[in-house]
Amino acid sequence: MAAIGIPQDEIARTIGSGGIDPKTLRKHFREELDTAATKANAMVGGTLYNKAINGDTAAAIWWSKTRMGWKETTRQENTGEGGGPIQVEWTIVDPKNQPADS
């Protein structure tokens, strides 16, 4: 139960016919509580790894993104006419030479 994230208080309630005190659970099962999630992660990780190396494309993509830091990128390039540079025209306006708003 600890491996899949069940809180210790809830685990304690399920032991025996009426449950046990959470302190008793921790006293007698400290190592199991401390290592359960890591062991579960290792098992799932091993399964994912095996699927990836045996050709499961989805597993390989997930592995490469999360473990290898790969990401999907999109590159967009803007060009001017005929693939040349973009032409930019600038107009400088002098506010002193503008007519006043009426």
pLDDT tens for residues 46-77? Answer: 999 999 999 999 999 999 999 999 999 999 98
Two tokens at 82? 């005929």
Percent of the chain with pLDDT strictly greater than 70: 97
Two tokens at 83? 């693939």
Of the candidates 12, 7, 34, 33, the residue with the CA atom closest to the CA atom of residue 23? 12
Q: 11 with 23: CB under 8 angstroms?
A: no
What is the reported pLDDT for 102? 54
Cα 50 from Cα 39, distance rounded (Å)? 17
Cα 21 from Cα 11, distance rounded (Å)? 10
What is the reported pLDDT for 101? 67
Q: Hey, is 74 helix, strand or coil?
A: coil
Average pLDDT over residues 31-48: 96
Domain boundaries, the chain: 2-72
